[in-house]
């Protein structure tokens, strides 16, 4: 089967999922290392960040993804 299909492809720098992961990692590190808070507060902040990050990643992947990853085109 020799079929050519055109699909939208975007740079990884424009990925909502990649930015969500990077920002949540930075926020978690800042909450643990950059701000002087008690352990319970740090734990609550990091748990909230990770929960929001998980839901955002799921939502972006499920509902806001209309492109193809460049690595998957050859498959």
Q: Is residue 34 part of a domain?
A: yes
Q: 37-73 pLDDT, tens per residue?
A: 899 999 999 999 999 999 999 999 888 876 666 666 6
Q: Is residue 7 part of a domain?
A: no
Q: Is residue 46 part of a domain?
A: yes
Q: 18-42 pLDDT, tens per residue?
A: 999 999 999 999 999 988 889 999 9
Kindly state the helix (H) or strand (E) to which residue 1 belongs, with its residue range: none
User: How is residue 73 annotated by DSSP?
Assistant: T
Q: Is residue 35 part of a domain?
A: yes
**DSSP symbols for 31-58:** IIIIS---HHHHHHHHHHHHHHHHHHHH
Q: How many domains does the chain have?
A: 1
**26 CB-near residues (< 8 Å, 6+ apart):** none
Q: Is residue 29 part of a domain?
A: yes
Q: Quote the domain boundaries for residue 28.
A: 14-64
Exposed/middle/buried for 18, CB within 10 Å: 0-12, 13-18, 19+? middle
Q: Is residue 75 part of a domain?
A: no
Q: Is residue 2 part of a domain?
A: no
């Amino acid at each position: 089967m020799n079929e050519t299909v055109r699909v939208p492809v975007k740079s990884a720098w424009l990925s909502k999922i990649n930015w969500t992961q990077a920002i949540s990692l930075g926020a978690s590190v800042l909450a643990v290392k950059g701000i002087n808070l008690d352990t319970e507060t740090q734990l609550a902040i990091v748990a909230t960040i990770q929960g929001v990050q998980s839901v955002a990643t799921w939502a972006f992947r499920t509902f806001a993804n209309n492109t193809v990853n460049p690595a998957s085109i050859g498959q």
